[in-house]
Structure 1
Amino acid sequence: MRVVVRVKPGSSKGPLVESNEEGLVVFVREKAIDGAANDGVIKLLAEHFGVPKSRVRVVRGHTARIKQVQIDD
Structure 2
Amino acid sequence: MRVTIRVRPGASRTAVGGRHGDALVVAVQARPVDGAATRAALDAVAEALGIRRREVTLLTGSTSKTKTVEVPDAAASRLADLMREAD
TM-based fold match above 0.5: yes
State the one-letter code of the partner of 1:27. A
Distance in 1, Cα, partners of 2:46 & 2:40:
10
In the comparison of the two structures, how many residue pairs are matched?
72
Matches within 5 A, 1:1-73: 1-12=1-12, 14-20=13-19, 21-72=21-72
Distance in 2, Cα, partners of 1:71 & 1:49:
9
Distance in 2, Cα, partners of 1:58 & 1:41:
10
| Post-superposition offset of 1:18 | 1.7
After TM superposition, where is structure 1 displaced by more than 4 Å over at least 4 residues in a row? Answer: none
Q: Alpha-carbon deviations, 1:39-64, whole Å to 9, x = none?
A: 10111000111110011121100000
More strand by share: 1
- TM-score, normalised to structure 2, is 0.76
Segments of structure 2 that go 5 or more residues without pairing to the other structure are 75-87
More helix by share: 2
RMSD of equivalent CA atoms: 1.2
Distance in 1, Cα, partners of 2:10 & 2:40:
10
Segments of structure 1 that go 5 or more residues without pairing to the other structure are none
| Post-superposition offset of 1:19 | 1.8
- TM-score, normalised to structure 1, is 0.89
Secondary structure class of the residue paired with 2:68:
strand
% of aligned pairs identical? 35
